[in-house]
Structure 1
Amino acid sequence: MNNAAVSTGKMVRLAVLVAILIIMAFTPLGFLPIGVLSLTLLPIPVAIGAMLYGPAVGAGLGGLFGVLSLIQGLMGRDLGPVLMPISPILFGIVCIVPRILEGWLTGLVFRALHKIDRTRIASFGVSGFLTAAFNTIFFMGGLMLLFWNTFVVGYAEGQGVTGSAWTIIAFVMGGILLQAVVEAILCAVVSGAVSKVLMKYFPEKKPAKEF
């Protein structure tokens, strides 16, 4: 297979991942209701791109994920109606920066693990799990860092929770823990399986040196 064919195939697969992200963001396909939970599936394409093509592509897909989340907020979904009036700029940062880091770090982690993974399975599952975990940790971390006094404390007090900062953090993170774990497991299974199959049938000739 010549370089032109490899490059064209890669661009096609990246375009498919971009299209999937956009479709998932604005249709029910991006969310899986399980009981009282509503799991987001958008980290899955980010994980696949990061594992197949490295940190730079992961960061790019993560950035797109963040932009789509910002657009959803502007359309009145999730925390958008609450956080946008407080600070549109900070809301944009919370939506986009954590997702860029999510994709970038997934690519770095996968590259490191895949070199030492003799099973050629664990690196896919672990990286997929971490993609969703990074999404939760970085987004919630950014939310608490940038909107602590203007939203987080008031939200906790509205739920009857007062006390130290650690008490409030434990309350907020505890409320999303189950959903975060289920999302991470789902992302590990789906993105890990898909990435392993795609890497087998569409191998890169040589991983790019991306940072």
Structure 2
Amino acid sequence: MKSEKTYELVLLALFTAIIVIMAFTPLGYIPLVVINATIIHIPVILGALFLGPKKGAFLGFVFGFTSFINNTFKAITASAFVFSPVLAANLIGVSGIFKSLYICFVPRILVGVIPYFAYILIQKLLKSERKIWPVVIHGMVSFILFVSLRAFICNLINSHAGQITGMVVGLALSIFLFIVLTLTSRKKTVTGISLAYAGIAGAFTNTLFVMSGIYILYKDAYAQALGIAGDTVINVIMGIISFNGIVEAAVAAILIVGVGMALLQVKPISTERTSKRKRASQTSLL
């Protein structure tokens, strides 16, 4: 018991160090053609799964704190104020402190919580005797892919041809994904699929909460910082969600499965460890 707690503290310290290193070096970003996809949330998601939601929330806080430092002292983008209470206070006043605190910390803390419960839910549903649940889950993920791809292509090709292309490409790839997921959904692959969905949940948690927070709290200030009209902010945000979101979700799914399956060789998922303790205590009582 004592050695297990020591191991968890070591793992927590390791994940914390990885977050800090990623945040202050280019290691935390994957350069793509038009954007940088962040992978700093990966150790936060892994921490949620292998250490539980409390320690996961702490790692999410560390992620948010590094974002606060980067955007306050580097401020390399015009919209850095949305993640910095200091810059926001100077720009729009006291209310900016609370708005930026929310955007900087709340989504990142939730990244350390939601994947844990997503993993539990997906595990239960995929192991359920009701065959309809895997179909529903895979259908939802495929639908999200369809909506994201369609929105991205429509924003990229702003014409009637773009709408048709987005519809066709999005539909084709989403159907392909649904078929692949359905065919590979066996009991032996439940853990891998659950890890993948936990990674997707964590990545989308960060993207959706951050971008929705920017739109609700900073719509006009964000438009002014980017030099665009206020009514076009929603298009920019939807473009980021549909492209950044889907890229980061895909990267998270792959990395969480790869690293997660490796870690499972030496340490069980937090939920599985808890279940074993409960069974052991019930056995001892009998």
- TM (normalized to structure 2)? 0.64
User: Contact 2:223–2:233 at 8 Å: present in 1 too?
Assistant: yes
* DSSP-derived class of the 2:31 partner: strand
Between Structure 1 and Structure 2, how many residues are aligned?
A: 201
- Larger mean CA deviation between 77-86 and 129-138 belongs to 77-86
In structure 1, the residue matched to 2:112 is: 103
Deviation at 1:145, TM superposition (A): 1.6
Deviation at 1:192, TM superposition (A): 2.2
Task: Say which structure is richer in helix.
Answer: 2
1:10 is the counterpart of 2:8: yes
User: Contact 2:219–2:230 at 8 Å: present in 1 too?
Assistant: no
1:122-137 aligned within 5 A: 122-137=193-208
Runs of 4+ in 1 over 4 A off after TM superposition: none
- TM (normalized to structure 1)? 0.84
Of residues 212, 218, 222, the one that matches 1:152 is 222
Higher relative contact order (CA 8 A, sep 6+): 1
Of residues 31, 34, 45, the one that matches 1:33 is 31
In structure 1, the residue matched to 2:254 is: 189
* DSSP-derived class of the 1:77 partner: coil
One-letter identity of the residue aligned with 1:147: Y
- The C-alpha deviation readout for 1:5-31, integer Å capped at 9, x for no partner, is 111111111110000000000011111
User: Contact 1:51–1:111 at 8 Å: present in 2 too?
Assistant: no
Gaps of 5+ in 1: none
* DSSP-derived class of the 2:36 partner: strand
CA-atom RMSD, angstroms?
2.3
In structure 1, the residue matched to 2:76 is: 77
User: Contact 2:208–2:241 at 8 Å: present in 1 too?
Assistant: no
User: Contact 1:32–1:39 at 8 Å: present in 2 too?
Assistant: yes
- Larger mean CA deviation between 98-107 and 174-183 belongs to 174-183
